[in-house]
Amino acid sequence: MTDASATEDVTEQEHPTGVLRNLIASLIAAGRTRLDLAAVETEIFLLRTVRMLLWAVAAVACALLALAFAVVALVAALWDTHRMAGVLGGTALFIILAIIFGIVASRSLRQHPQLLEGTLAQLQNDQHQAGGSP
């Protein structure tokens, strides 16, 4: 074997290794990109959820305080004649509002986008482009 043929053999052996290294580096870079996307998406989801919960709690607290004062005023106005009717009417009002708030909260929780929905869609797109099953 001459030096030229030995050099060709070494080059042919290193070439597949270089391709494999490039492939692994590309896979790692793609994985990091998807992980970064998932982290950003998770942060946005959590911030949106916390903000929604804070505003909802504030609105419900203000509404309930206003209604409590209205019921107290009604009971005070009806104290001499129909105090039990005023108290029971106020109780029924708060029970009805609790049911309505529960229904609205359950609907809003079902209608928000799922956590990491964009990341999963991107991973499915990557799998489809790579020739895998969708």
pLDDT in tens, 72-89: 888 888 888 888 888 888
Report the domain count for the chain.
1
Mean pLDDT across the chain, nearest whole number?
78
What would the pLDDT profile of 14-57 be if each residue is shown by its tens digit? 567 778 878 888 888 888 888 888 888 888 888 888 888 888 88
pLDDT of residue 32: 82
Read off the pLDDT of each residue in 97-101 and give the average, rounded to a whole number: 84
Question: Quick one: tokens of 46?
Answer: 């959590």
Domain that holds residue 30: 3-129
pLDDT of residue 25: 80
- Would residue 134 count as lying in a domain? no
- Would residue 98 count as lying in a domain? yes
- Would residue 16 count as lying in a domain? yes
Place of tokens 């030229």: 4
C-alpha angle with apex 113: 108 to 116, nearest 5 degrees?
A: 140
